[in-house]
């Protein structure tokens, strides 16, 4: 495989940002906002610090593997609990710096998640969805989609892959930065996905322990009331963006507990490329990505024997499948991004429409395969979403 054909577009985005001319400081920072979820449920959230005893960190010698995780879930009495910011202060400072947002020019957005609110225990339990972020991202960068799923009755667990992600802040204030190079060989990328796979299976083990009454948080912070026994771990799905999408399918191959998965614009690595999957899998691509242009997607598609779908979002770029569609339009003025530069990062599709389309398709996928409710959106081309091309 020729790496330049499928590596994430981080280098291209960095090139665009390097040509931007940040604006001079304004009189007041811009308050960033997140789109409100549209489902019927209020949302609770809680962060967990997980330590995997006996597993050395693969990238930092002498350390035990530790992760940060957020749970997002339907909540009761949510208005009695404060909402949480998009990121913790140390992580947000790193996020701003890594993306070229001038310091103190914007204010971190608030989410719809209420910190530690009691779980709304739905009849039959809450289906569980795991989320893996892109390489050089972090667990917050698909919050718009995560909140939407939680508002529709799922428990969504988002995981930071420490030292693969750009920034991971732990409860003691440490901010772990990415240590891996951005330009990697095929073997290095395969190894990175394999370690992320281990992270995700460990998270699923810990969710099982939580459902049985354990509290694996390293600081022993209280878990939300009603969380024990609230999960339906027979209905587990997973999705991810970029290398998180690769992690999704790699983990599905290794762990049959994950019943269905979505890869949002991620090239695949490792055995799953030629082995395929025998469970439901959906590919979501940006406008220039197809099974012909990505050398991993064609073999995976041909080898997969389970339910499968492939869609391509017109007017999109790689980062359209993330909160970049939310954040960059709001920060463009302080970053000095022209409309042409902004379109090079997030495409020409309207940002609100991009979030609406991707959330509709991901929700329809999990409704079908975890709840067995068929909206028929995924049967073929849809007049509701003409910009989402069906790839037979």
Q: In what order do the strands lie in the sheet with 388-390?
A: 83-85, 110-115, 43-56, 64-74, 155-160, 126-132, 231-241, 258-264, 281-285, 308-313, 388-390
Q: What is the pLDDT of residue 27?
A: 67
Q: What is the pLDDT of residue 20?
A: 62
Residue ranges per structural domain of the chain: 3-390
Considering the chain, what percentage of its residues have pLDDT values greater than 70? 93
- Please compute the mean of the pLDDT values over residues 121-129 and round it to a whole number: 96
Cα of 334 vs its chain's centroid, Å = 26
Smallest CA-to-CA distance from 107 within 18, 16, 30 is with 30
Question: What average pLDDT does the structure give for the chain?
Answer: 94
Find tokens 């991901």 and name the residue: 362
Smallest CA-to-CA distance from 136 within 192, 71, 53, 209 is with 192
Q: Which residues pair with 283 in a beta bridge?
A: 263, 310
Give pLDDT tens digits for 244-267: 999 999 999 999 999 999 999 999
pTM here is 0.94
pLDDT band at 10 (very low <50, low <70, confident <90, very high): low
Give pLDDT tens digits for 60-70: 999 999 999 99
Range 253-259 contact pairs with CB under 8 angstroms and sequence separation of 24 or more = 253/277, 254/197, 254/201, 255/200, 255/201, 255/204, 257/204, 257/233, 258/130, 258/204, 259/235, 259/369, 259/370
Alpha-carbon span 115 to 82, nearest angstrom: 6
123, with CB counted inside 10 A (0-12, 13-18, 19+), is: exposed
- The token pair at 133 is 């972020």
Report the interhelical angle of 186-211 vs 243-254 (nearest 10°).
60
Q: Which residues pair with 231 in a beta bridge?
A: 126
231, with CB counted inside 10 A (0-12, 13-18, 19+), is: buried
Q: What is the pLDDT of residue 7?
A: 40
For the chain, give the number of residues.
392
Q: What is the pLDDT of residue 182?
A: 84
pLDDT band at 17 (very low <50, low <70, confident <90, very high): low
Give pLDDT tens digits for 330-384: 999 999 999 999 999 999 999 999 999 999 999 999 999 999 999 999 999 999 9
The CATH class for the domain spanning 3-390 reads alpha beta
């Amino acid at each position: 495989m020729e790496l330049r054909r499928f590596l994430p577009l981080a280098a291209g985005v960095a090139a665009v940002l390097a040509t931007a001319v940040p604006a001079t400081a304004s009189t007041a920072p811009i308050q960033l906002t997140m789109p409100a979820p549209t489902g019927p449920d209020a949302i609770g959230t809680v962060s967990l610090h997980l330590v995997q005893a006996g597993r050395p960190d693969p990238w930092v010698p002498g350390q035990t593997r530790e992760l940060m995780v957020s749970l997002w879930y339907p909540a009761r009495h949510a208005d009695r609990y404060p909402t949480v910011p998009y990121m913790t202060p140390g992580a947000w400072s790193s996020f701003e710096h890594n993306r070229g947002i001038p310091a103190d020019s914007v204010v971190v957005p608030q989410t719809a998640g209420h910190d530690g609110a009691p779980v709304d225990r739905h009849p039959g339990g809450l289906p569980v969805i795991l989320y893996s972020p892109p390489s050089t991202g972090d667990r917050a960068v698909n919050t718009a989609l995560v909140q939407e799923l939680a508002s529709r009755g799922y428990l969504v667990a988002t995981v930071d892959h420490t030292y693969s992600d750009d920034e991971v802040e732990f409860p003691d204030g440490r901010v772990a930065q990415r240590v891996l190079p951005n330009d990697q060989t095929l073997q290095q990328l395969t190894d990175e996905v394999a370690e992320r796979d281990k992270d995700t299976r460990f998270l699923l083990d810990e969710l099982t322990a939580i459902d049985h009454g354990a509290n694996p948080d390293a600081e022993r912070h209280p878990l939300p009331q009603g969380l024990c026994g609230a999960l339906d771990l027979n209905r587990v799905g997973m999705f991810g963006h970029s290398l998180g999408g690769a992690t999704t399918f790699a983990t599905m191959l290794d762990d049959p507990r994950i019943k269905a998965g979505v890869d949002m614009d991620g090239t695949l690595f490792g055995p799953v490329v030629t082995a395929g999957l025998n469970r439901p899998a959906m590919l979501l691509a940006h406008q220039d990505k197809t099974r012909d242009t990505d050398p991993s997607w064609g073999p995976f598609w041909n080898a997969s024997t389970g339910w499968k779908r492939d869609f391509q979002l017109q007017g999109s770029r790689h980062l359209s499948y993330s909160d970049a569609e939310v954040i960059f339009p709001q920060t463009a003025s302080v970053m000095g991004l022209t409309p042409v530069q902004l379109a090079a990062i997030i495409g020409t599709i309207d940002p609100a429409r991009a979030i609406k389309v991707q959330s509709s398709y991901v929700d329809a996928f999990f409704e079908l395969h975890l709840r067995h409710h068929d909206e028929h959106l995924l049967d073929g081309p849809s007049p509701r979403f003409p910009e989402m091309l069906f790839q037979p």
